[in-house]
Chain A
Amino acid sequence: KNQVEQSPQSLIILEGKNCTLQCNYTVSPFSNLRWYKQDTGRGPVSLTIMTFSENTKSNGRYTATLDADTKQSSLHITASQLSDSASYICVVRTPAGKSTFGDGTTLTVKP
């Protein structure tokens, strides 16, 4: 069964610190991997999207990595801000268009 596992389930860090969220998947065949940010009470918003040939992609203070061989991705947040408090969801898509969502990591940034 295709799965997307995210860790940790939740994370609390102090403002200004860095953190890394993990996403491991077994989805096959692979087309792309996306990271979404979901603020409380809102819909998910796309942060990055990576295809098989892309190892690293940055979006401001967010940097996503992808190792398609080990089927692992990470989302690194630099110099965290209070507004980074949200759920971060990893989504893996097959070439046929089927998306499998991870359960998300809930990040809390404290002052």
Chain B
Amino acid sequence: DVKVTQSSRYLVKRTGEKVFLECVQDMDHENMFWYRQDPGLGLRLIYFSYDVKMKEKGDIPEGYSVSREKKERFSLILESASTNQTSMYLCASSLPPTRTAKNIQYFGAGTRLSVL
């Protein structure tokens, strides 16, 4: 059974703290993604990775960085957390794109981060 695991369901951090959100998938997927989900804005892509040590900026990368040292693990880093980064963070993984692949994304349960 497909599994994407996010290390924390809830996190509370203070402004200026460095925050690590961890995501692990057990499906040997090449692609991994980090989104944030906010009311009225839907899911917005922060960063994605198509391979180990490879990363690409998504639509809203400012204030975030990522790390993909191993294929199964994709970490999202908030270098200095701010209150506007309070959100639900969702990790996803999928197979690599091909001409006919439908690329279903499998999502983790999400991490609800509150920055005070």
Contact = CB atoms under 8 A, between A and B. Distances in A.
Given A89-B42, A99-B45, A41 B110 contact: yes
B97 A43 contact: no
Interface centre among A32, A45, A49, A97 (most CB of B within 10 A): A97
B40 A44 contact: no
The secondary-structure label for the interface of chain A is strand
Given A46-B104, A49-B102, A49-B104, A101 B109 contact: no
A32 B101 CA distance: 10
B91 to A, nearest CB: 8
B107 interface: yes
B103 interface: yes
Contact of A93 (B90, B103, B106): B103
Interface string A11-41: 0000000000000000000001010100001
Contacts, number: 47
B64 to A, nearest CB: 18
A101 B26 CA distance: 25
Nearest to B97: A97
Given A32-B102, A51-B102, A103 B107 contact: no
Contacts of A46: 104-106
Contacts of B4: 43
A102 B42 contact: yes
B51 to A, nearest CB: 14
Contacts of B103: 32, 93, 97
Interface of B: 4, 9, 35, 40-45, 90-92, 97, 102-110
